[in-house]
Amino acid sequence: MSSADDSVVVRFVTEDDKDGWQRLWKSFQEFYEVSFPNELDDFNFKRFLDPTVKMWAAVAVNGLSGEIIGMVNFFSHMSTWDFKDKIYINDLYVGENSRIKGVGRKLIQFVYEEADKLGTPSEYWCTDESNHRAQILYTKIGYKAPKIMYKRNGY
């Protein structure tokens, strides 16, 4: 597969996707050198499937093999800067063998389309300064905001 053509399908996760999503979630943690307790996997996955929670996950599936090759987790929140909610792409990960093939773009485009359906067309996300490969894509489908993120010490 040389590009994310029609053989890659992006869709919301289902209960049957937990193992594939979890495999990529663990790889995401390794990539960013973080570690979360396994209980958080179950907690998050239940929230993704709960229609009353404004938090979702979608997966990119190789249509030929059925393998889950990418995932995106996102949620909606209010803002004091707008009447409409915002969508935050919290986590985005594409398996190493599927990178630079348009899968990341398809995952973000999926979020854009879902945000439009929700009437929340403002999406944003963060990445590490050192994640240059991803930034090549991000500058094509978005823009680098002039903000700097700060975090509370110890958290």
Domain that residue 68 falls in: 8-141
Is residue 148 one of the residues assigned to a domain? no
1 inside domain: no
In terms of Cβ atoms closer than 10 Å to its own Cβ (0-12, 13-18, 19+), residue 92 is buried
Asked if pLDDT for residue 69 goes beyond 70, the answer is yes
For residue 3, tell me if it sits in a domain: no
Encode pLDDT of 41-52 as tens digits. 999 999 999 999
- The pLDDT > 90 percentage for the chain reads 70
Q: How many domains does the chain have?
A: 1
- The per-residue pLDDT for range 127-151, each reduced to its tens digit, is 888 888 888 889 898 988 888 888 8
- Report the CATH number at residue 126: 3.40.630.30
Centre a 10 Å sphere on the Cβ of residue 130 and count the other Cβ atoms it contains. 8
Among the residue ranges 13-27, 39-53, 87-101, the one predicted with the least confidence is 87-101
Backbone angles phi, psi at 26, to 5 degrees: -65, -40
> pLDDT over 70 for what percent of the chain?
97
Place of tokens 């930034």: 135
Residue with token string 């909606």: 76
